[in-house]
Structure 1
Amino acid sequence: MFSLQSNTTDIKTIDLKNPEVLLATLQELRQSIYQQGEEIFQRWEPLIKRRSFRKSAQNLAYYLALQSHDLRPLQAALIPWGLSSLGRIEARVLPNLDAAIATLAAICQTESYPLPPRPSIQSFLEGHRLLRRHTQDVLGKPWNNRWVRIMVTLPKSAASSYEYVRSLLQQGTNCVRINCAHDTPELWEAMIHHVHRAEGETGQPCKIMMDLAGPKPRIEQTINFCESDRLFPGDYLFLRRDLLGAESANNSSFGDTGYPQLTCTIPEVLDSLKIGANVWIDNGRIGACVESLSGEGVLVKVTHASHKGSKLLPDKGINFPDTLLNLCPLTEKDKQDLDFIVSHADIVGYSFVQNTSDIDLLEQELQTRQIKRSNPLAIIAKIETPQAIQNLPELIVHAAGKYPFGVMIARGDLAVEIGYQRLAEMQEEILWLCEAAHVPVIWATQVLEKLVKQGIPSRAEMTDTAMSEKAECVMLNKGRYQGEAVRILDDILKRIQEHQLKKMPQLRALYSWKYYDRS
């Protein structure tokens, strides 16, 4: 009935209205998942050094086996019998199946099948216990009656204002993020000093995460722009390979045309571009398509920009979603920053992770530095590309098998790389896979963005924030109203956790509506 060689399960022709047929189908499904899951786990087992992650890796293997089948008809057939539709199975694959099988067997009043034992309450809930344990290992203990943690990106001013840092903790911040792409080690050390001082005064623990900058292509120089410095759809833009000044650029073949030009911090990425490839700048605010190639660089035509024109500023990121960039995820600057991170931070944020060799590379660098620490540094893998999503199960096992580990859904770069229309879908898949592996997820990018920067939230971002309760941590970016955003986010998360646990509705009594006799 079930084929391990295919990615789908053909159960549409089975009479699932018959409870005995439904029971046999569940039994065969369970056996297939167990066999295939064990094959996956045995391949992973040599990589797992942390004993606390063994059961989690095994559950992830079973979940991958489960997701090789299309179970929608089976789910629909289970619901009329008052059984689990398997829609909350991520953290407990086999216990959930075993519980459904045992209950269905009781309904059928049959003992003709070799039934798995009904799981104990402890084993049924073990996945949730492991997720909470692994979350605490990475992000610290929950605080202030709130399960989902709040992470805040520290601005430069946090180095000079202790009061600002203390107020963030008082409002509900559980973890701070320092972006190593900005500022200096001296400023980072001042920020960290203020965090530790605030921990002592407020009594609230606060983890410190430091993000490695990684090989992010960015604008380095802009040349030949008109007075408005704005681009419109239909404009042309020249991406140069070399870092020439404005005078040299004006003497080049493309400089004579008067096209606006820019140089890239990683010029070798231009060698991989092909005609027709898409280029996105500044988190997708400007879109372009490659028109022609030359020895000096790449000519692109602007396809997307604001109707009022979009400014092109130095240090803004550049994405090449159609082009596979074989860049080492650890730059020389990252390695220098790691020396500081292992001595000062609790968590390292790993940018542009795409395959398991990237995890191995970071591990090699950490092994030479971990002697400075009494406890292992936790790793957060930032998922920003289609390749990272495709390789996510293997990335999880390689990292969580050795270190406290979590995943950040870096929605800024990810949306540009996979397309905005696929972001919500891929976000859900990342959440499901991580819950199956019992590893925490950080929901990041543009959370309460308008509130953080302007002081007034939009309706849409309030809804997005409520949905973030599915993750274990929510990250806020820098902005003038950051403290107010922490306070409001704390309130939203506390309210939503009364109604929602991951994706399971909590049937708390509704106080917004009261039954009354209309007669």
Structure 2
Amino acid sequence: MVVDFLPPETLLAQLIELRKAVMRDAASYFEHWRPLIRRTSFRTAAWNLAYYRALQRRDIQKLERALMPWGLSSLNSGISSVLPHLDGTIASLGAVCRINPTLLPQHPSPRAFFRGERLLKRHTHELFGDRHHSHHWIISYPDSPLEPQWFDQLQRQGASALRLDMRDHIDQAQAAIAQLTQLSSPASSRSPKPWKLWLTLDPEDLEGDRLSAKAHLNGHTTPAPQLIQVLDAADIIELKQPTEPKLLDSLHYAIQRQLGPDQPCPSIIVSLDPDIDIEQLPELIVRGAGRYPFGIAIPPSLSPNGHLSDRSRACQKILDLCQAACIPVILMPPTELNPSSSLDGDLSQLAAIVRSPLQASPSSATS
């Protein structure tokens, strides 16, 4: 693509107009999301997601290339800090044009450019706890009961969560929950569990009683027994492949009804459908992260593989949106490996890896 060399004054005028349009559209997005945002820690991230979405609605490729001769082609590189990058570019170009700085957006502080990274770290810690290392390991819970020594070994490995799929072998899942509850009870001689219990739910578990705001307020619904058990036991609830963002409202009302005001709320993870409509993802993120510690799980069929396939491009868009919202991403493996015989230091047997969207390499194994 050949781009004409534009004078800095022309570029500055285009950037100022771009900023006005981004601010206007972002305010519209945020106003729509505002009723869904209860967590103050997510408010700043939601604004950044709104700025990012407004910026991506515009074709800025020519403008970015025109800025390259001036050393200012960073509009698309600041996904987790959209407005600071835009304001910094305007302020720097204003200095080239010798414009009075008071007539332009103030140049952001250096700290503002890394606010998204700090928010991502905070949101990851809220989801999995502060493990004081750069990655979080999640392992699948074996089908059969385990010896208490296995949990000691698990603790030494530094696992962040135990994932138990509630869809298959319900009796075994219930036995596993009972065993974990017993090991973590005050009567146990063991220390409180250092990892979180991650339980799965299908959309059908919520569809069964179609919880709604009206039904919740009137108390006219009866949740399924499996849903009650998950709400009572889970530290992390995974909602598998929801068909629409509003299903998170159903889960929210179920949590509100089941848990008392003094009980800690669970974290929420949404594992995406491989055929997800990415246009729905921002609202899905806001409905989840606006209320709970939240993460997105990417299935193997969407995981990046280095090829320029439609699925790889879709995965990159998902990673970018999650980075803009400053929420952690979990890359799920092709198969969940049984860790019961391999907790001997071989971390390759762990079931899932939390990956930071801020990392450059999609194949990296750390967050």
Q: TM-score range by the shorter chain?
A: 0.7 to 0.9
Determine whether 1:393 maps to 2:282.
yes
Equivalence for 2:255: 366
TM-score, normalised to structure 2, is 0.80
Paired residues of 1:62 and 1:93 also in contact (CA < 8 A)? yes
TM-score, normalised to structure 1, is 0.58
Determine whether 1:444 maps to 2:304.
no
Of 30-39 and 199-208, deviating more is 199-208
Equivalence for 2:311: 423
Deviations 1:453-475 (A, max 9, x none): xxxxxxxxxxxxxxxxxxxxxxx
Equivalence for 1:21: 10
Within 5 Å, which residues of 2 pair with 1:291-330?
A: 328=207
2:106 partner SS: coil
Within 5 Å, which residues of 2 pair with 1:2-401?
A: 15-111=4-100, 114-143=103-132, 145-146=133-134, 148-157=135-144, 159-182=145-168, 183-191=172-180, 193-194=182-183, 205-215=194-204, 328=207, 335-371=224-260, 374-387=263-276, 389-401=278-290
Q: Structure 1 pair 504/353, CA: closer, same or farther in 2 (3 Å)?
A: same
Equivalence for 1:405: 294
Which blocks of at least 5 consecutive residues in structure 1 are unaligned?
A: 1-11, 217-326, 450-475, 506-519
Deviations 1:225-268 (A, max 9, x none): xxxxxxxxxxxxxxxxxxxxxxxxxxxxxxxxxxxxxxxxxxxx
Paired residues of 1:354 and 1:388 also in contact (CA < 8 A)? no
Q: CA deviation at 1:329?
A: 7.8
1:434 partner SS: helix
Paired residues of 1:63 and 1:436 also in contact (CA < 8 A)? yes
Q: Structure 1 pair 163/480, CA: closer, same or farther in 2 (3 Å)?
A: closer
Instruction: Determine the C-alpha separation between the residues in 1 that align with 2:126 and 2:312.
Output: 28
1:487 to 332, 347, 367: 347
Q: Structure 1 pair 101/190, CA: closer, same or farther in 2 (3 Å)?
A: same
Letter in 2 for 1:163: Q
Paired residues of 2:196 and 2:235 also in contact (CA < 8 A)? yes
Q: Structure 1 pair 16/140, CA: closer, same or farther in 2 (3 Å)?
A: farther
Instruction: Determine the C-alpha separation between the residues in 2 that align with 1:84 and 1:204.
Output: 48
Paired residues of 1:88 and 1:504 also in contact (CA < 8 A)? no
Letter in 2 for 1:502: Q
1:503 to 357, 360, 365: 360
Q: CA deviation at 1:98?
A: 0.8
Q: CA deviation at 1:124?
A: 2.6
Q: Structure 1 pair 485/17, CA: closer, same or farther in 2 (3 Å)?
A: farther
Q: CA deviation at 1:484?
A: 5.7
Q: Structure 1 pair 388/201, CA: closer, same or farther in 2 (3 Å)?
A: farther
Letter in 1 for 2:228: D
Equivalence for 1:247: none
Q: Structure 1 pair 347/373, CA: closer, same or farther in 2 (3 Å)?
A: farther
Q: Structure 1 pair 192/428, CA: closer, same or farther in 2 (3 Å)?
A: farther
Letter in 1 for 2:322: C
Q: CA deviation at 1:162?
A: 2.7
Letter in 2 for 1:381: V
Instruction: Determine the C-alpha separation between the residues in 2 that align with 1:27 and 1:178.
Output: 51
Q: Structure 1 pair 65/501, CA: closer, same or farther in 2 (3 Å)?
A: closer
Q: CA deviation at 1:80?
A: 3.7
Q: Structure 1 pair 488/184, CA: closer, same or farther in 2 (3 Å)?
A: closer
Letter in 2 for 1:360: D
How many aligned positions are there? 341
Q: Structure 1 pair 437/330, CA: closer, same or farther in 2 (3 Å)?
A: farther
Equivalence for 1:478: 338
Deviations 1:258-315 (A, max 9, x none): xxxxxxxxxxxxxxxxxxxxxxxxxxxxxxxxxxxxxxxxxxxxxxxxxxxxxxxxxx
Letter in 2 for 1:435: Q
Q: Structure 1 pair 137/77, CA: closer, same or farther in 2 (3 Å)?
A: same
Letter in 2 for 1:394: E
Question: More strand per residue: 1 or 2?
Answer: 1
1:70 partner SS: coil
Question: More helix per residue: 1 or 2?
Answer: 2
> Percent identity between the aligned chains?
31
Instruction: Determine the C-alpha separation between the residues in 1 that align with 2:208 and 2:315.
Output: 22
1:173 partner SS: coil
Paired residues of 2:184 and 2:193 also in contact (CA < 8 A)? no
